[in-house]
Structure 1
């Protein structure tokens, strides 16, 4: 790699997207460049808003009722590898304890407002900028990068800022998250006046919904809960908890008359309680991965992997169930022997209901009583997650336990292309529903709003959407309701190949390629890269000077948690490589004007 700057002896490095992942890459880059003595290095940070470090998910100005779905102890900007950070960095729990004058142990299990996390991230973004070396010049660009133009061994960027003149970039880290998908989704339905394609920021995107209107809400997951809270608590409604722990909702009069959430499956998300955790006991899937790491055989998710995942679910469920009856289940034996032990257990305890993984994955609701049954389902889970060593919670935790092992297979291209598409289109959201749900406080709020009659699940499972002139209706089982506004309360996970977004723009097509089996609206999940995040170009060549990090890598790397520093960390290697190449070029100058 040779560096081609705009001016003599200048190097330009770019980070496109400055949410949490961009901040992590920025921190690693500063740490790797800190000890290098060389001429000025220009670091360009591109973000579509002024929310550097936090992004829109953790916008510090968003309402406090928008909560994290896991406790503070899992949030930290501290790096997990060398070199050390350039300034002291506290974990989020430590930062909150200092700020609130509380004990770190108490903060560890708190569920924070996402705005608080955003303040934490922005605080350290400013601190990193302040502590950076004198030879590093940091440029913050509030604009969207529309395309990348490659010239031999450098790149020019085209942005929406008419005053931006691109230098010659030597290396790029791309951490755009869901932004291309959001742009694509907004563009796809921008002509529909009564449709809101994306709900964030909620106080701005949902303020056009009038009081006493009827709202159809596409989605039953975390984003839908945010939308429902924004239309109720966000409009002055208040929650009260009595001395028995029952929560009620008092309206302000500014809420919608009805909110009808729905999805294709109609299955609601399962809440979590981090004060009641169940340790992993069953390791059939882990052993399967360990025994097949050296194999090159392609695997089918449904026929090769899903049965083993279900084995772990059965084992986790019955391990806890046996304990409740003073018995023990040996999970070190073969699964067919475990099945015999379970059968004998049921002979001894005929009143104990048999567990089948399908009951957890696909709960059965009477379609004529969806509104009542979904509320009963949530109430049952609230009781379950507050039970010590719950059998159902143990089974539901399996996907979380095995996700690292699954990523080994996923990132080594061990799934057939059709099987990977099946997993992404169906099972990814299904497992997230049972393993990565909201805190139980949010489900209590949903039930309180439902008891007021505002939240209604009557159309929860795959209703027909009819639009005739100015009238829009939801229809299911011969029951229909007119609605005034449709909210798409889902995080977009794909973009149309014809949309003008970063990865599909004409000049970038030689740099980025996509899986040919991808569906029309699934390209974000099929961007081709290697395990280091380097994209593969149209000629099959790896571009070592560009690194993808986070969501753009999901065609190859699985489950990119926006706040995880360890999960699929392609940024650390990128930062290290940039520093090494600058060091090499300093010793043997190959700068060109």
Structure 2
């Protein structure tokens, strides 16, 4: 039984987003000088608190970030300031702790980021207000029910496997991806299929040496899986005099690794350069204000043409400069196109901006070869090494970094019409991620080296079909031209996102059945359900009756689909944590005032 004099708060899911909510809550509670006891119940599936599974500190060092050191900071400069006396950004923390590669533009191991996050959590714990207690629960939360003015949180304790119940007054959900299926398909049941690769040293361990492995996906997770199965098996990459990498086999890696995806197009790698184009010229403040007035917005008719112009301007700004010229902006886009026309007449061998080639250079090809992809990978590596200052392509694709926050404002809470909303979720989200949030150059160089070593094979890279042989439990991979190979292991290296009609995680399904949440629907035109929770603009749950419940809030991945691109480490994107922390502190303060008033009355009596 919980003591009624104690105010109980639950944070369900305690990776970086859970920590950010916790840090803000402690800051607000510290400022409010509340007297009553506050218990904060932290629920997480593992003991890696604040880092979560993505940045857990027991990962091997070869799994590195695609986010430069300078971009990582667990703290915000906003009032109320953190109660912690130490608030170092990641670069400062690296230097203070004697780590190598502390340069702001380098890419650190993810495990090191996890250690940083864990330390930041400890800094806050070391300076808790005297009336605040933190209770940790390691296990899987499966359900939550309402009981009068509080909520019962049910979780399966990891250590004992028993179901436990904790009563909370307010709850913040910062869980990971919630839209995976609970009913496993026949192929998932196969012991030769690996559905989630992290932690890689545990999940990929069953794959025996000299086996044939298919990897579904060609994104960051797939690259992690490939490196884990090669370098992680004792292989080495050596740098040649030309700067290229050569793979030295250990003999313990698979015989062949076959990545495959819908398009077969790899991500654009990143280097440590800073953007040279800082402004947006078509998505101006005035334009965005006008678009907000006219929601819902059409993506294809209104936004995409503006995005293409921004990419175009960034591309030619760098290309012109490479030839000693300046590309001038003009309100009339046709004037700019004339500049480009005259430029290419003067320099006919210079590269031409081609939107279709940028988004999918292999669109017209039904089948790809390893050589074709290898040549394209080397082209991307060379462009990334040139950086945004010299490479027109890199300048163009990184334009999305500047567009993304503005687009989020237009996208969120049904800002696009339903058709556009669905099209962006199913196609353009992945496209822009592939263009702008790729792996460090070093990782892509490793991929090329593995191709040269004959271990990585892209024969089945595009639109392959996978089937399982019921008799021997092996898989087969086949492409349109009929070419086929048997596979010993299938690794799913895709990350589940909210999808239409796929609202099936046990916890969220139970919340839905209990009437505590509802499913968001974009009701314009034909309607579209992205498979996410409906929340208010403060991040509060909207229940089955359409009422806003300020006791239940969501932050991060659970809001994906009603908001866009909730970067795991961002303190500013869709910051429902600060709103939640402030409102929770105010609710406790009100209860505190009522308690003090009641005690004064008792004293008078």
Partner of 2:568: 562
Residue 53 (structure 1) aligned with residue 50 (structure 2) = yes
Is residue 282–residue 316 contact of structure 1 (8 Å, CA) maintained in 2?
no
How far residue 82 of structure 1 moved from its aligned partner, in angstroms, is: 1.2
Partner of 2:496: 492
Q: Is the alpha carbon distance of 1:344 and 1:22 closer, same or farther for their aligned partners in structure 2, counting shifts above 3 Å?
A: same
Is residue 214–residue 258 contact of structure 1 (8 Å, CA) maintained in 2?
yes
Q: Distance in 1 between matches of 2:467 and 2:163?
A: 46
Q: SS of 2:539's equivalent?
A: coil
Is residue 276–residue 386 contact of structure 1 (8 Å, CA) maintained in 2?
no
Deviations 1:465-518 (A, max 9, x none): 233433422112221111111000011114775745211116654122113579
Which aligned pairs between 1:162-201 and structure 2 lie closer than 5 A? Answer: 166-178=165-177, 180-181=178-179, 184=182, 190-201=188-199
Residue 429 (structure 1) aligned with residue 430 (structure 2) = yes
2:13 counterpart (17, 21, 45): 17
Q: SS of 1:486's equivalent?
A: strand
Q: SS of 1:267's equivalent?
A: coil
Q: Distance in 1 between matches of 2:529 and 2:203?
A: 26
Which aligned pairs between 1:153-232 and structure 2 lie closer than 5 A? Answer: 153-161=149-157, 166-178=165-177, 180-181=178-179, 184=182, 190-232=188-230
Which aligned pairs between 1:136-155 and structure 2 lie closer than 5 A? Answer: 136-155=132-151
How far residue 553 of structure 1 moved from its aligned partner, in angstroms, is: 0.8
Which aligned pairs between 1:69-468 and structure 2 lie closer than 5 A? Answer: 69-87=66-84, 88-100=86-98, 106-161=102-157, 166-178=165-177, 180-181=178-179, 184=182, 190-275=188-273, 277-287=275-285, 289-364=287-362, 366-367=365-366, 369-387=368-386, 388-468=389-469
Q: Distance in 2 between matches of 1:89 and 1:279?
A: 31
Deviations 1:92-139 (A, max 9, x none): 111100111779xx5312211000011111122223223212211110
2:477 counterpart (468, 471, 474): 474
Is residue 181–residue 502 contact of structure 2 (8 Å, CA) maintained in 1?
no
Is residue 41–residue 137 contact of structure 1 (8 Å, CA) maintained in 2?
yes
Is residue 398–residue 436 contact of structure 2 (8 Å, CA) maintained in 1?
yes
Instruction: Mark the runs of 5 or more structure 2 residues left unpaired by the alignment.
Output: 599-605
Q: Distance in 2 between matches of 1:76 and 1:224?
A: 26
Q: SS of 1:558's equivalent?
A: coil
Q: Is the alpha carbon distance of 1:11 and 1:524 closer, same or farther for their aligned partners in structure 2, counting shifts above 3 Å?
A: farther
Partner of 2:541: 535
Is residue 16–residue 173 contact of structure 1 (8 Å, CA) maintained in 2?
yes
Deviations 1:422-458 (A, max 9, x none): 1111110111001000100000111111111000111
Q: Distance in 1 between matches of 2:183 and 2:22?
A: 29
Q: Distance in 2 between matches of 1:110 and 1:507?
A: 43
Instruction: Mark the runs of 5 or more structure 1 residues left unpaired by the alignment.
Output: none
Q: Is the alpha carbon distance of 1:188 and 1:59 closer, same or farther for their aligned partners in structure 2, counting shifts above 3 Å?
A: farther
Which aligned pairs between 1:59-70 and structure 2 lie closer than 5 A? Answer: 59-70=56-67
Q: Distance in 2 between matches of 1:242 and 1:468?
A: 43
Of residues 399-408 and 289-298 in structure 1, the stretch that sits farther from structure 2 once superposed is 289-298
Q: Is the alpha carbon distance of 1:510 and 1:372 closer, same or farther for their aligned partners in structure 2, counting shifts above 3 Å?
A: same
Residue 583 (structure 1) aligned with residue 571 (structure 2) = no
How far residue 414 of structure 1 moved from its aligned partner, in angstroms, is: 1.7
Deviations 1:534-592 (A, max 9, x none): 12112211111111000001122211111111111111111111111111221123999
Q: Is the alpha carbon distance of 1:264 and 1:102 closer, same or farther for their aligned partners in structure 2, counting shifts above 3 Å?
A: closer
Q: Distance in 2 between matches of 1:549 and 1:326?
A: 48
How many residue pairs get aligned? The number is 582
Residue 551 (structure 1) aligned with residue 557 (structure 2) = yes
Q: Is the alpha carbon distance of 1:591 and 1:50 closer, same or farther for their aligned partners in structure 2, counting shifts above 3 Å?
A: farther
Q: SS of 1:473's equivalent?
A: strand
How far residue 299 of structure 1 moved from its aligned partner, in angstroms, is: 1.6
Q: Is the alpha carbon distance of 1:411 and 1:199 closer, same or farther for their aligned partners in structure 2, counting shifts above 3 Å?
A: same
Q: Is the alpha carbon distance of 1:371 and 1:439 closer, same or farther for their aligned partners in structure 2, counting shifts above 3 Å?
A: same
Of residues 412-421 and 257-266 in structure 1, the stretch that sits farther from structure 2 once superposed is 412-421
Q: Is the alpha carbon distance of 1:369 and 1:295 closer, same or farther for their aligned partners in structure 2, counting shifts above 3 Å?
A: closer
Of residues 144-153 and 157-166 in structure 1, the stretch that sits farther from structure 2 once superposed is 157-166
How far residue 216 of structure 1 moved from its aligned partner, in angstroms, is: 0.6
How far residue 295 of structure 1 moved from its aligned partner, in angstroms, is: 1.4
CA RMSD of aligned residues (A): 2.4
Of residues 297-306 and 548-557 in structure 1, the stretch that sits farther from structure 2 once superposed is 297-306
TM-score norm. by structure 2 comes to: 0.91
